[in-house]
Chain A
Amino acid sequence: MIMSKLFKKTLLIIIVLFAVVAVTTLLSSGWNLYNGLVAEYTSKGTAIARSIASSSVETLLNRDAATIQSMIDQFTEIAGVSYVFVVDAQGEIVSHTFVPNVPNEIAEIKLSKNAVPTDIEIGNGKYIDISAPIVEGAVGFVHVGMDKGLIMSQLESSMMRQFYLLSVIFIISIAAAYFFVNRVSQPLNELAEYSRRVAQHDFSHSIEIKSKDEVGLLAGTMQSMASDLSEVFDRYERALKDAVVELQSTLAYLTAVIDHMADGLLVSDIDGIITHVNPAMSSMFNMRENDLIGKYCGDLFGEGLAAIVQKSRYNPEEVYTVEIPLVGGRTGKAVAAGVLQDYFPLEGPEKGIGAVVLVRDITAEKEVDRMKTDFISTVSHELRTPLTSVKGFTEIIKKKLEEDIFAQVKSADGRPARAIKRVRDNINIILSESERLTSLIDDLLDVAKLEAGKIQWRTELVSVADVIERAHKATSALFEKKGLAFIKDVEPDLPPVVGDRDKLIQVVINLLSNSVKFTENGSVTCMARSDSNEIQVRVADTGSGIADTDRQAVFEKFKQVGDTLTDKPKGTGLGLPICRQIIAHHGGRIWVESELGRGSTFIFTLPKAEAPAAREEAYIINKETITHA
């Protein structure tokens, strides 16, 4: 059995304590015994000396040495008496018991008249010399030598006995201590082992301590604490496991969603370093996920993507798009949005902590777009050839009729005159209708190109006053034909706008000719005003106006308000949608304010050229779109 530390300590303390007590006891009892024996021997010696002194007066006076000798010889037989000698008044040793001679040491004390016992050493022996005067010392002195060696041997044997006794007591008490300490430390050991296990969250063991003392109480408390702990741990472990499972399933769900997205997903940090991509993204660029993570997105996907990532970092609330090339000549549309840091109220651009970019393969859409545009181009081209024939031959017919036939008809009345008028009118109808057909085809082509982004836009400083002036000139014939007044109200010193002059002129021409078309009498007013950061152009007429329900429809393709069965359509229905596209391209808005029967006002806005940065940015993105289109 392993001795517990507690037991070892206790045992050591007991041994030390016992040793101290034993040594102290031994020493003090030895000292007492020694003193007792010395006193006893001294008093015995004194009694002997006095007895000899009182009985030897006469003998000494008579100088009967032989008698004295025989007397003192008797005393040497008494235990402890080592020697006896008698000195006379002159200090001569009269008689003694020394064999064979008086030792030299005696000569030193033989004259001592002191009655106090004196320690002397003779040879190797130690003695107590006790003297008694004979008749006050007048006759002499008796000296008795008590053997101190006897005292020592008696003391020794007594001490040895005591030591043996103490040793037995010591062994017994160590055994007893061992037994007791063991009894106390055994459950403590168990308790210690148990608590160690509990500390390691091992609740599988229990302890069997049934004693009623503090240890038993401690064991019971500990066990109940352990069972509580075990329960708490179990509960937390279960809750943790549930939470982990839930988290894992949520993560798995999110990962599955992201991984199975048809669109490519890229997440980058604020520096444009890629932190996450989904498989669709990897396959779009034919790269492995590991080759993408940690790289700068501009290096892999070009500056177009890097630029929108950077922009969304600074404007996390905005969404930016750009077309980017994918592998295999495919085209992708990347949409970038900033990732906002909601947890910390950071200021400035640091609010965005990165960007999420979705890339959609729009090759098919682009292809459809291209096919649509091609189709429209082809159709319009194919339409042009017969139209050219119709128009051209009609013109030739008209020319021939006018020059060679009508000129020959002299009688300008009756049936031939009516016939000539009818033929002339009808030919003119064919010609004007073929003009209409031509402009329809032209508009159709314009719409197709605008929608396909195939227009090459000019970017130049444009004066709005100049645009209005040119548009007025182009439409002046229409005004004259209908006898309508044109009122121009342009604010002087209008700031310029940035855009495509010809396209803007096309918009104003369209609005002016529309107004003329739907106004029978009155005037058309063209007004231009500078606003806080944009220029507003209004084209107001005094015509038929547009009903509430039709106001939005006028900007839709092939829509003309009114009943197309009863009202003769005037135009292609594509003019306003084209205008809307052109204005939208310039970053402006177009709308109509009107009341049925009280005229209409078409209004469009254009941003001033004063914010060059914003314009340039829009231009770059558009350029990008065109480049990849």
Chain B
Amino acid sequence: MPKVLIVDDEPLIRTLLEQSLEEFAEHGVAILTAENGLEAVEIIERERPELVFLDVMMPKMNGFEVCDMVKKQLQMKDICIIMLTAKGQEQDRIKAEDSGIDFYITKPFSIREVIEKVTEILKIKL
């Protein structure tokens, strides 16, 4: 069963994403959550999810560091990482591309956009 990890320090954003992906959960996708970077890395190492929603600004370890750790140090290149970033932060985008981010979604995002992206990546027809 595919696993999706949601990493954000804001509980409401985690809840929002969980609710958005509710239908995927009904189709057997496991939804995991982490509230900071360190926890995220632990879960990724342990659970090896197919898809990670990763916030940028987080305590302990930020999104770029998590991405860098996963893609370069842990060599888990097949994990798809979607960065949740603010619009217009070009420098952040360059950093995101450097650290091996696959996609980015700007906050505030639309639920439709999230569902479309997950459908595309997990290749699950709802």
B119 interface residue, CB < 8 Å from A?
no
For this complex, 19 residue pairs linking A to B, each with C-beta atoms less than 8 Å apart, are A381-B57, A381-B86, A385-B10, A387-B107, A387-B108, A389-B12, A389-B13, A389-B16, A391-B108, A392-B16, A392-B108, A392-B110, A395-B111, A395-B112, A396-B20, A399-B111, A438-B108, A445-B86, A449-B88
A627 interface residue, CB < 8 Å from B?
no
- 3 closest Cβ pairs, A-B complex: A388-B108, A392-B16, A395-B111
- Does B88 lie within 8 Å of A446, measured CB to CB? yes
Closest B residue to A378 by CB, please name it.
Answer: B57
B26 to chain A, nearest CB (A): 13
B103 interface residue, CB < 8 Å from A?
no
Closest A residue to B56 by CB, please name it.
Answer: A381
- Interface digits, B85-126 against A, CB 8 Å rule (1 contact, 0 not)? 011111100000000000000011111100000000000000
- Does B86 lie within 8 Å of A380, measured CB to CB? yes
A interface list, Cβ under 8 A from B: 377, 380-381, 384-393, 395-396, 399, 434, 438, 442, 445-446, 449, 456
- Does A393 lie within 8 Å of B16, measured CB to CB? yes
Closest B residue to A381 by CB, please name it.
Answer: B86
Closest B residue to A448 by CB, please name it.
Answer: B88
The CA of A427 and the CA of B99, in the complex, are separated in Å by 39
Identify which of B87, B90, B112 contacts A442 (C-beta below 8 A): B87
The CA of A396 and the CA of B88, in the complex, are separated in Å by 26
- Secondary structure at the A interface, as helix, strand, loop or mixed, is helix
- Does A434 lie within 8 Å of B108, measured CB to CB? yes
Candidate in B19, B20, B87, B107 with the most chain A CB atoms within 10 angstroms: B107
- Contact A392 B57, CB 8 Å, known A442-B87, A442-B88, A446-B88: no
- Does B13 lie within 8 Å of A388, measured CB to CB? yes
- Does A384 lie within 8 Å of B16, measured CB to CB? no
- Does A456 lie within 8 Å of B57, measured CB to CB? no
Identify which of A381, A390, A396, A445 contacts B111 (C-beta below 8 A): A396
The CA of A380 and the CA of B20, in the complex, are separated in Å by 24
Chain B contacts for A393, CB-based, 8 A: 16, 19
- Does B107 lie within 8 Å of A384, measured CB to CB? yes
The CA of A456 and the CA of B112, in the complex, are separated in Å by 31
Candidate in A391, A395, A434, A445 with the most chain B CB atoms within 10 angstroms: A395
- Does A396 lie within 8 Å of B107, measured CB to CB? no
- Does B109 lie within 8 Å of A396, measured CB to CB? no
Chain B contacts for A392, CB-based, 8 A: 13, 16, 20, 108-111
Candidate in A377, A385, A390, A445 with the most chain B CB atoms within 10 angstroms: A385
Query: Which residues of B, 6-58, contact A by the 8 Å Cβ criterion?
Result: 10, 12-13, 16, 19-20, 57
- Does B57 lie within 8 Å of A388, measured CB to CB? no
Chain A contacts for B109, CB-based, 8 A: 388, 392
6 other A-B residue contacts (CB within 8 Å) besides A388-B13, A438-B87, A442-B87: A389-B13, A392-B109, A393-B19, A395-B110, A395-B111, A399-B111
- Does A384 lie within 8 Å of B108, measured CB to CB? yes
- Does A388 lie within 8 Å of B88, measured CB to CB? no
B56 to chain A, nearest CB (A): 9
A15 to chain B, nearest CB (A): 114
- Does A385 lie within 8 Å of B107, measured CB to CB? yes
Closest B residue to A399 by CB, please name it.
Answer: B111
Chain B contacts for A377, CB-based, 8 A: 86, 89
Chain B contacts for A386, CB-based, 8 A: 12
The CA of A389 and the CA of B10, in the complex, are separated in Å by 10
Closest B residue to A431 by CB, please name it.
Answer: B110
Identify which of B10, B19, B57, B87 contacts A396 (C-beta below 8 A): B19
B27 to chain A, nearest CB (A): 16
Identify which of B12, B88, B91 contacts A445 (C-beta below 8 A): B88
A53 to chain B, nearest CB (A): 166
The CA of A381 and the CA of B107, in the complex, are separated in Å by 9
- Contact A388 B16, CB 8 Å, known A381-B57, A395-B110: yes
A582 to chain B, nearest CB (A): 14
A124 to chain B, nearest CB (A): 145
The CA of A434 and the CA of B87, in the complex, are separated in Å by 15
The CA of A391 and the CA of B13, in the complex, are separated in Å by 11
Chain A contacts for B90, CB-based, 8 A: 456
- Does B111 lie within 8 Å of A384, measured CB to CB? no
The CA of A399 and the CA of B16, in the complex, are separated in Å by 13
Candidate in A381, A384, A387, A456 with the most chain B CB atoms within 10 angstroms: A384
A443 to chain B, nearest CB (A): 10
A593 to chain B, nearest CB (A): 31
- Does B20 lie within 8 Å of A385, measured CB to CB? no
Chain A contacts for B57, CB-based, 8 A: 381
Chain A contacts for B87, CB-based, 8 A: 438, 442, 445
The CA of A385 and the CA of B111, in the complex, are separated in Å by 14
Identify which of A380, A389, A391, A445 contacts B110 (C-beta below 8 A): A391
The CA of A393 and the CA of B57, in the complex, are separated in Å by 21
Chain A contacts for B88, CB-based, 8 A: 442, 445-446, 449
Chain A contacts for B110, CB-based, 8 A: 391-392, 395
- Contact A388 B107, CB 8 Å, known A396-B20, A442-B87, A445-B88: yes
Chain B contacts for A442, CB-based, 8 A: 87-88
The CA of A456 and the CA of B87, in the complex, are separated in Å by 15
The CA of A533 and the CA of B13, in the complex, are separated in Å by 53
The CA of A314 and the CA of B108, in the complex, are separated in Å by 52
Chain A contacts for B16, CB-based, 8 A: 388-389, 392-393, 396
B12 to chain A, nearest CB (A): 5
Closest A residue to B114 by CB, please name it.
Answer: A392
B19 to chain A, nearest CB (A): 5
The CA of A381 and the CA of B63, in the complex, are separated in Å by 15
Chain B contacts for A395, CB-based, 8 A: 110-112
Closest B residue to A387 by CB, please name it.
Answer: B108
A231 to chain B, nearest CB (A): 81
Chain A contacts for B107, CB-based, 8 A: 384-385, 387-388
- Does A384 lie within 8 Å of B86, measured CB to CB? yes
Closest B residue to A454 by CB, please name it.
Answer: B91
A277 to chain B, nearest CB (A): 37
